[in-house]
Amino acid sequence: MGTSTKANTGAEIFGTVSVAMVTPFDSRGELDLDAGRKLAAHLVDNGVDSLVLAGTTGESPTTTPAEKIALLEAVKEEVGDRAILVAGAGTNNTRTSVELAKASRDAGADALLVVTPYYSKPSQAGLVAHYREVAAATDLPICLYDIPGRSGIPVEAATIRELATIPTIQGLKDAKGNFFQAAPLIHETGLAWYSGDDPLNVPWLSVGATGVISVVGHAAPRLLREMVTSFEEGDLARTREINATTIDVLARQQAILGGATFAKAALRLQGIDVGDPRLPVVPATEAQIEDLRRDMEKAGVL
C-alpha cells in the first residue's frame, strides 16, 4: 500500500505500540499482581510490543517503590521477552529517581521512562543536572517524558539537544504537542520520539515519531496496532479511519475521566477487572460508566 513511512529510530529499544499500563488493585486497594500478569499478557497478545509500568497512568504518585518493583518483576515473569518493559523511574527528587532507576534495572527493566521533575519547577540547568544523575545511575536506555501540563515546566529545545548528547538518553515521550519545535529536533537529535497524547498519535507519526505511548490502547490494543501498522505501510485511509472511529472516540472519554479512571473503567466493561484508582483519583460514576459504555460500543471495542 504505497511507500513505507516507518521511522525506525529506537523501535528495538522502546517499541512502537506501547501502553502506559495501569497498576491493578484488588477490592481492598492493594496491589494485585495476578491481575497485573493477566492484563500484561492480554495487551501483548493483542499487538502491544512495549509496556510502560509505574508511569502516571500506573498511578506512580500513589504506589510505593516496593509495589512498582513487584509489578515489574511479575510482568517480566509473565511476558518475558515478548514485550519491552519500560519502567517509570521519574520523580521530583533526583536521589529517589536514581534509586528507582537502579531497582528497576535489577528487577529486569529494559528501559526507563523519566518524567521531568514535577511541582519543584527546576530551571533548565536543573533539568539537565537531574537527567545526568539519573542517566549515570544505570546503563539502561532512557526515554525523557516532557509533559508540562502536569510537571509545570517544558523541556526547552536547547535542553533536549543537550540531553540527547548523553549516550543512554535515546528517546522522548512528547505530551507537549509543539510540532514546530519537535519536527526538526526529531531529525537533529536522533532521539526516538513517541506520541504521549492519543489525539495526536497520527500527527506525531506524520512528522517522524517512532511510535505511541498510549492510554486508550488499554481498551483498543489491536486497533491501535493496526492503526500504526497501516501508517507504516502507507495505508493512510485506514489509519485515518481507525483514528476517527476508535482512537478519537476513546480519547474523548480519557479527557473526561482522566487516564487511570478511564482505563480501569474501560477494562472492567471488557471483563478485565483491575480495581479502582487510589485516592485522590476517584473511580467513574455510574452515569460516567454508561456514557463510556456507549462510546466504547461506538468505537467498536465493546
pLDDT over threshold 60, residue 6: no
131 is catalytic: no
pLDDT in tens, 86-135: 999 999 999 999 999 999 999 999 999 999 999 999 999 999 999 999 99
Nearest to 173 by CA among 118, 239, 131, 112: 112
Predicted confidence (pLDDT) per residue in 60-75, tens digit: 999 999 999 999 999 9
Task: Categorize the per-residue pLDDT at 7 as very low, low, confident or very high, splitting at 50, 70 and 90.
Answer: low
Question: Exactly one of 68, 76, 173, 264 is catalytic; which is it?
Answer: 173
Average pLDDT estimate for 24-33: 98
Question: What is the rounded (10 degree) CA torsion for 216, 222, 225, 226?
Answer: -120
* 8 band by pLDDT with thresholds 50, 70 and 90: low
Q: Which residues contact 132 (CB under 8 A, 6 or more apart)?
A: 166
**Count of CA atoms in the C-beta half-sphere (13 A) of 279:** 1
Tell me: the pLDDT tens digits for 157-166? 999 999 999 9
CB atoms within 10 A of CB 287: 8
The owner of cell 533539568 is: 127
Query: Which position among 145, 176, 194, 264 bears the catalytic label?
Result: 145
Do 79 and 53 touch, CB atoms closer than 8 A? Answer: no
Q: Convert the pLDDT of each residue in 201-217 to its tens digit.
A: 999 999 999 999 999 99
Q: Would you list the DSSP string of 70-135?
A: HHHHHHHHHHTTSSEEEEE---S-HHHHHHHHHHHHHTT-SEEEEEPPPSS---HHHHHHHHHHHH
User: What are the backbone dihedrals phi and psi of residue 281, each rounded to the nearest 5 degrees, phi first?
Assistant: -80, 135
Stated pTM of the model = 0.96
Give 148-159 pLDDT, tens digit per residue: 999 999 999 999
**194 carries an active-site annotation:** no
d(CA 172, CA 185): 11
